[in-house]
């Protein structure tokens, strides 16, 4: 036996299959101690190892031999696998007594263990593990003093205490047995021994239920973890389009995917705006307001009736579409409508202001959140290593998912490689600077050129208009529109070419590109407006005076017309009952809000059509052409010109942002705009996802999108601010049309607020509000806000710096430790 | 365990006995194991099976089988997984992850889509980042040190039962 022990002890450090016998030797080396544990039979004697040795040998010999058989196979593979165990063994060496006790326990259990083992193969895996755990724990701690108990000896006080300790340790071992990188067999035997011991002696201590309760607890915990995992999966599955975006991300990289994530976020915002306008403005009017045809403003005028239902008219958003809840003009200026006393004008006003306020809030909040993410930063000290070792998801069982995962891993590696190459690039500083200055100069020239072109074209069109448009063909009539669209198409490509001079990191190049295109569009718009400025001024003055004049004229016309119904004289005091006149015949006044709303809706629709057609022709047809004509063409179409198109991130993002700007500008005048936009974004998502996967190729240099999308958000915020200016201006300064809309009859649109305050709130409220809106109170308030902004800015800067310092410290500490 | 035994039995019903009371010495060859649905898509399936097999050639007895699944389950702790992960990535089983091992790992991960110079670059970077003792290859201590700081490690080594 002694030789056996030595063999085992030497071959397998961590092997449980202890033929352990020599306690003395065990004490010296932890391994042998462990191996002996099994050997210890129930009779143990703390003090004298040798004695125990002698007595114990006989008992477990049977077990030992069996275990030896099984252990043999394990030895070779185990020896180099468990440095941990060895370490733990050494640690255990200290607790002699404990070890001994455990050994005895194990010995006691081993007999039972064998039988249990067979039975245990069938039951719950966890149970097995527990037992394995127990066993291992026992093994680990083996080597302690002999246990004080044996079946034959009576339990004394001190022994009781010791026994308690042992039981606790065994339990701990059971709990941690899973952690041991031992072979299953070893674990099993250790576990069985430990379990036997605990069971046997726990009963003696009066804690028989322990094991069962423990098993129950572990099972519950496992179920809970599974539930949590399923819930997380469910939550992820609920996010719309998540799978599509992940697929795109795996094939095209995170920057292209960031566009789609941005699109999805916009969709969310538009849904909420849609909910507001639909639920609080359109639905109440449709349900509770006076129906179509009851009022002049709600009816299609007689003159237009013939064409009101034509598709062409509807597509143009006139005819029936114009005289419906979709546009501003339909709404009545009645203070309350329906039996709920729903205050329509107030609601309209508040929804308009509220949607702007909500948009501001959410954009700012997203910016703040992104700033937080960015501030944390990512720990890139082991970037490549982590990518290599931890990126494969071992849970994947589906071939398609696996394909996606492979693609995403490859893309991620490529991204990291690009980053690395960028950081390694050696720069010839002077040349680069010169080239960059040159590129900026060229870009400025382009911008100036396009501005001048627009100015020139607008002036020409004004001249044409003066001379009468009939004399000129299609080109002259649509010169301005076509020139602006052409500029919008070609200048970005020009910027692209210029940016190749600059040799920036792709992410920074994208930002420059976005900035330049943004400047281009804004410049074009402003040049356009300035060129028209004279005309607008004229028209505006004319318009304002016109409306007042027209008001008088129309009113006069109406009385005359009424009189004509009475056949002749204008009655001085018309006591005659009002004649029932079909509302369609009543002469109408001008309704500039509806006209503005119509313009915006037409713009949005035409923008949508243009985008779709561009995608279909520019991407899809091009891809079809390249793919199928490649066989019969002189040069290789796929590698040369035109080849497959890449996904144009900057163009699409800007299109999205400008589109949203249009929506914000127009939704006050046309409540249907958010609805149209929701529809547009929904279809655009599917169309673009399909187009990207089908017709585009990934960019050559795949780069990682910056974590924060703050650049996009900043642009969005700017556009939001610009778009809300016109609406706010009209609310505050221009009188609403007298003949249409919920504010007709008032001198200013915001008077609805003061009206509500007077009528619906108690009087003291009005007084308080009056005091609060006193400039003397508002100015100090503004001053206070400015001061607090400054203070908060200063504190946040200091926090950021402290953060950076701490990070640096951490890094240096980590480096030191190696 | 019951379920596992069922799966094990399924793979080769004529070989695997239902009754383990006599402690038979049955091993399943690698080919059968790597066709299991959980492992089929895994690029490292051969390595996984090899590292759990007793004879080092890929045949798993039932105990090894259970071992493998227990390590891959979510209940196994990080250190244990790290140990086995190291073995999986060590293709030539010399207890070090050398450059050749890294290259093989990378090729398996990306299905050989990267160019040769990209591969070299990545392998160099990995060794540069993780090799602390400067021997040009990753020992277990280096590996564990690097893995212990990785946020994703545990998540991807979980396995459903």
* Chain A nearest C-alpha distance from B97 (Å): 11
Residue A710 in contact with residue A371, Cβ under 8 Å? yes
Which of chain A's residues have a Cβ under 8 Å away from the Cβ of B95?
A: 80
Residue B97 φ/ψ, nearest 5 degrees: -95, 100
Please state, rounded to an integer, the average pLDDT across all residues of chain A: 69
Give the integer Cα–Cα distance in Å for B63 and A183. 8
List pLDDT tens digits, range A261-314.
888 889 999 999 999 888 888 888 888 777 776 777 777 777 777 777 777 777
From residue A810, alpha-carbon distances to A217, A608, B130 in Å are 39, 52, 17
Residue A805 in contact with residue A811, Cβ under 8 Å? no
Strand pairing report for A696-697 and B27-28 = unpaired
Is pLDDT of A16 > 80? no
> Is B1 within 8 Å of A122 when comparing Cβ atoms?
yes
Concatenate the DSSP letters of all residues of A749-811 into one string.
TTHHHHHHHHHHS-HHHHHHHHHHT-HHHHHHHHHHHHHHHHHHHHHHHHHHHHHHHHHHHHH
Report the predicted TM-score, pTM, of the whole model to 2 decimal places.
0.62
The ranges assigned to domains in chain A are 158-236, 245-427+593-742
Residue A337 φ/ψ, nearest 5 degrees: -125, 150
Of the candidates A278, A277, A290, the residue with the CA atom closest to the CA atom of residue A323: A290
Which of chain B's residues have a Cβ under 8 Å away from the Cβ of A410?
A: 110-111, 113-114
Take residue A568 and report the two structure tokens written for it: 């002749």
Concatenate the DSSP letters of all residues of A13-59 into one string.
SS--------HHHHHH-HHHHHHHHHH--S---SS-HHHHHHHHHHT
Q: Which residue has the higher pLDDT, A675 or A637?
A: A675
Is pLDDT of A486 > 90? no
pLDDT at site A88: 40
> Is B122 within 8 Å of A388 when comparing Cβ atoms?
yes
A123 and chain B in contact, CB less than 8 A: yes
Q: Which residue of B has its CA nearest to A392?
A: B156
Residues in CB range of A517: below 8 A, 6 or more apart: A491, A492, A495, A650, A651, A654
Residue among A388, A394, A410 whose CB faces B159 most closely: A394
Q: Which residue of B has its CA nearest to A81?
A: B83
Q: Residue A365, SS3?
A: helix
| Over residues A136-164, mean pLDDT | 51
Is pLDDT of B97 > 70? yes
Residues in CB range of A23: below 8 A, 6 or more apart: A33, A36, A49, A50, A52, A53, A100, A146
pLDDT at site A434: 85
Which of chain B's residues have a Cβ under 8 Å away from the Cβ of A86?
A: none
When computed from its CA atoms, the radius of gyration of chain A, rounded to whole angstroms, is 41
List pLDDT tens digits, range A400-455.
666 767 777 777 778 778 777 777 776 677 888 888 888 888 889 988 988 888 88
A180 and chain B in contact, CB less than 8 A: yes
From residue A640, alpha-carbon distances to A637, A697, B52 in Å are 5, 14, 51
pLDDT at site A815: 66
Give the integer Cα–Cα distance in Å for A498 and A509. 11
Residue A510 in contact with residue A255, Cβ under 8 Å? yes
Q: Which of A45-59, A491-505, A737-751, B98-112 has the lowest mean pLDDT?
A: A45-59
Q: Which residue of A has its CA nearest to B67?
A: A184
Q: Which residue of B has its CA nearest to A187?
A: B67
List pLDDT tens digits, range A446-466.
889 888 888 888 778 777 777
Give the integer Cα–Cα distance in Å for A501 and A491. 16
pLDDT winner (highest mean) among A34-38, A54-58, A213-217: A213-217
Take residue A374 and report the two structure tokens written for it: 């960015």
A79 and chain B in contact, CB less than 8 A: no
Residues in CB range of A91: below 8 A, 6 or more apart: none
Question: Backbone dihedral region of A600: left (phi > 0), alpha (psi from -120 to 50 degrees) or beta?
Answer: alpha
Is pLDDT of A500 > 70? yes
Q: Residue A337, SS3?
A: strand
Q: Which residue has the higher pLDDT, B103 or A485?
A: B103
Q: Which residue has the higher pLDDT, A5 or A207?
A: A207
Residue among A124, A178, A395 whose CB faces B159 most closely: A395
Q: What top-level class would CATH report for the domain B76-156?
A: mainly alpha
pLDDT at site A269: 92
Take residue A343 and report the two structure tokens written for it: 């205050």
Q: In which residue ranges of chain B is CATH 1.10.238.10 found?
A: 1-71, 76-156
- Label residue A358 by pLDDT band (50, 70, 90): very high
Which of chain B's residues have a Cβ under 8 Å away from the Cβ of A66?
A: 23
> Is B80 within 8 Å of A180 when comparing Cβ atoms?
yes
* Chain B nearest C-alpha distance from A34 (Å): 20
Give the integer Cα–Cα distance in Å for A41 and A643. 80
| H-helix segments, A428-473 | 429-467
Of the candidates A480, A364, A314, the residue with the CA atom closest to the CA atom of residue A714: A364
Which residue is listed with tokens 């990191």? A505
> Is A392 within 8 Å of B109 when comparing Cβ atoms?
yes
List pLDDT tens digits, range A65-124.
333 333 333 333 333 333 334 334 333 333 333 333 333 334 333 333 333 333 333 333
Q: Please state, for a pLDDT cut of 90, what percent of chain A lies above it.
A: 6
From residue A704, alpha-carbon distances to A83, A647, B15, B121 in Å are 40, 15, 52, 18
Of the candidates A111, A115, A105, the residue with the CA atom closest to the CA atom of residue A34: A105
Length of chain A measured in residues: 818
- Label residue A399 by pLDDT band (50, 70, 90): low
A63 and chain B in contact, CB less than 8 A: no
**CA quadruple A230, A236, A238, A244: dihedral sign:** negative
pLDDT at site A754: 79
Which CATH number does B1-71 carry? 1.10.238.10
């Amino acid at each position: 036996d002694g030789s056996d022990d030595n063999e085992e002890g030497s071959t397998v450090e961590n092997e449980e299959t202890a033929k352990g016998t020599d306690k003395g030797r065990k004490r010296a080396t932890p391994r042998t101690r462990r191996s002996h544990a099994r050997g210890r039979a129930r009779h143990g004697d703390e003090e004298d190892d040798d004695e125990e040795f002698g007595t114990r040998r006989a008992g477990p010999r049977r077990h030992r031999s069996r275990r030896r058989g099984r252990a043999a196979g394990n030895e070779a593979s185990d020896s180099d696998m468990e440095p941990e165990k060895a370490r733990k063994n050494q640690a255990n060496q200290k607790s002699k007594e404990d070890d001994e006790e455990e050994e005895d326990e194990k010995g006691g259990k081993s007999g039972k263990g064998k039988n249990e083992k067979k039975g245990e193969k069938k039951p719950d895996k966890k149970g097995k593990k527990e037992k394995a755990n127990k066993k291992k724990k026992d093994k680990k701690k083996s080597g302690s003093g002999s246990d004080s108990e044996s079946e034959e000896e009576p339990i004394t006080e001190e022994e009781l205490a010791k026994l308690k300790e042992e039981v606790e340790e065994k339990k701990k071992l059971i709990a941690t047995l899973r952690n041991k990188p031992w072979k299953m067999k070893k674990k099993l035997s250790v576990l069985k021994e430990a379990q036997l011991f605990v069971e046997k002696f726990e009963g003696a201590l009066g804690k028989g239920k322990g094991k069962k309760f423990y098993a129950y607890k572990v099972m519950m915990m496992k179920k809970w973890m599974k539930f949590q995992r399923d819930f997380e999966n469910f939550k992820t599955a609920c996010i719309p389009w998540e799978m599509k975006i992940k697929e795109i991300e795996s094939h095209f990289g995170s920057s292209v995917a960031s566009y789609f994530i941005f699109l999805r976020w916009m969709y969310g915002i538009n849904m909420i705006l849609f909910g507001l306008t639909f639920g609080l403005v359109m639905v109440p009017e449709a349900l509770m307001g006076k129906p179509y045809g009851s009022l002049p403003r709600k009816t299609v005028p007689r003159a237009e009736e013939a064409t009101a239902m034509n598709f062409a008219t509807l597509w143009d958003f006139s005819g029936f579409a114009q005289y419906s809840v979709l546009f501003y003009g339909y709404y009545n200026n009645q203070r309350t409508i329906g039996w709920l006393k729903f205050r329509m004008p107030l609601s309209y006003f508040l929804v308009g202001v509220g949607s702007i306020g909500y948009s501001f809030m959410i954009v700012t909040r997203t910016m703040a959140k992104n700033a937080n993410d960015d501030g944390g930063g990512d720990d890139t000290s082991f970037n490549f290593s982590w990518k290599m070792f931890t990126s494969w998801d071992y849970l994947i069982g589906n071939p398609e998912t696996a394909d996606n995962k492979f693609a995403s891993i490859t893309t991620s590696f490529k991204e990291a490689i690009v980053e690395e190459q960028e950081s390694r690039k050696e720069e010839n500083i002077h040349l680069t600077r010169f080239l960059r200055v040159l590129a900026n100069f060229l870009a400025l020239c382009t911008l100036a050129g396009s501005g001048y072109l627009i100015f020139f074209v607008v002036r020409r069109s004004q001249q044409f208009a003066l001379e009468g448009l009939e004399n000129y063909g299609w080109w002259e009539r649509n010169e301005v529109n076509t020139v602006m669209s052409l500029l919008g198409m070609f200048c970005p490509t020009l910027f692209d070419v210029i940016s190749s001079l600059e040799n920036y990191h792709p992410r920074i190049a994208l930002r420059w590109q976005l900035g330049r295109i943004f400047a281009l569009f804004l410049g074009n718009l402003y040049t356009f407006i300035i060129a028209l400025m004279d005309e607008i001024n004229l028209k505006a003055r004319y318009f304002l005076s016109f409306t007042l004049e027209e008001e008088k004229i129309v009113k006069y016309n109406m009385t005359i017309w009424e009189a004509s119904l009475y056949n002749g004289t204008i009655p001085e005091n018309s006591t005659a009952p009002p004649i029932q006149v079909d509302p369609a015949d009543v002469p109408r006044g001008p309704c500039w809000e509806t006209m503005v709303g119509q313009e915006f809706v037409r713009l949005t629709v035409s923008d949508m059509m243009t985008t779709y057609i561009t995608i279909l022709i520019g991407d899809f047809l091009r891809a079809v052409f390249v793919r199928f004509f490649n066989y019969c063409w002189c040069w290789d179409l796929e590698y040369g010109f035109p080849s497959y198109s890449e996904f144009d991130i900057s163009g699409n993002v800007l299109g999205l942002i400008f589109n949203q700007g249009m929506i914000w500008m127009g939704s006050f005048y046309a409540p249907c705009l958010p609805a149209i936009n929701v529809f547009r974004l929904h279809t655009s998502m599917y169309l673009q996802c399909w187009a990207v996967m089908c017709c585009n190729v990934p960019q050559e240099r795949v780069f990682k999108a910056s974590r924060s999308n703050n650049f996009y958000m900043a642009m969005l915020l700017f556009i939001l601010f610009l778009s809300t200016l016109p609406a706010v201006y009209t609310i505050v300064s221009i009188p609403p049309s007298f003949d249409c809309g919920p504010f007709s009859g008032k001198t200013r649109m915001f008077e609805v607020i003061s009206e509500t305050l007077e009528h619906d709130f108690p009087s003291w409220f009005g007084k308080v509000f009056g005091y609060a809106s006193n400039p003397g109170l508002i100015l100090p308030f503004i001053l206070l806000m400015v001061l607090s902004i400054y203070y908060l800015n200063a504190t946040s800067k200091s926090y950021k710096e402290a953060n950076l310092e701490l990070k640096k410290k951490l890094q240096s500490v980590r480096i030191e430790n190696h | 365990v019951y379920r596992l035994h069922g799966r094990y039995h399924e793979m080769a019903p004529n070989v695997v006995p239902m009754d383990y009371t006599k402690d038979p010495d049955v091993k399943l060859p690698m080919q059968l194991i790597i066709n299991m649905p959980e492992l089929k898509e895994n690029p490292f399936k051969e390595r996984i099976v090899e590292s759990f097999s007793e004879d080092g050639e890929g045949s798993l007895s039932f105990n090894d089988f259970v071992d493998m699944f227990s390590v891959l389950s979510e209940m196994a702790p990080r250190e244990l997984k790290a140990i086995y992960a190291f073995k999986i990535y060590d293709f030539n089983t010399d207890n070090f992850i050398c450059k050749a091992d890294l290259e093989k790992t990378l090729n398996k991960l990306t299905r050989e889509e990267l160019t040769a110079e990209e591969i070299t670059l990545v392998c160099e970077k990995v060794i540069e980042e993780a090799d602390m003792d400067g021997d040009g290859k990753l020992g277990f201590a280096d590996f564990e040190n690097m893995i212990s700081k990785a946020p994703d490690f545990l998540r991807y080594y979980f396995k459903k039962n």
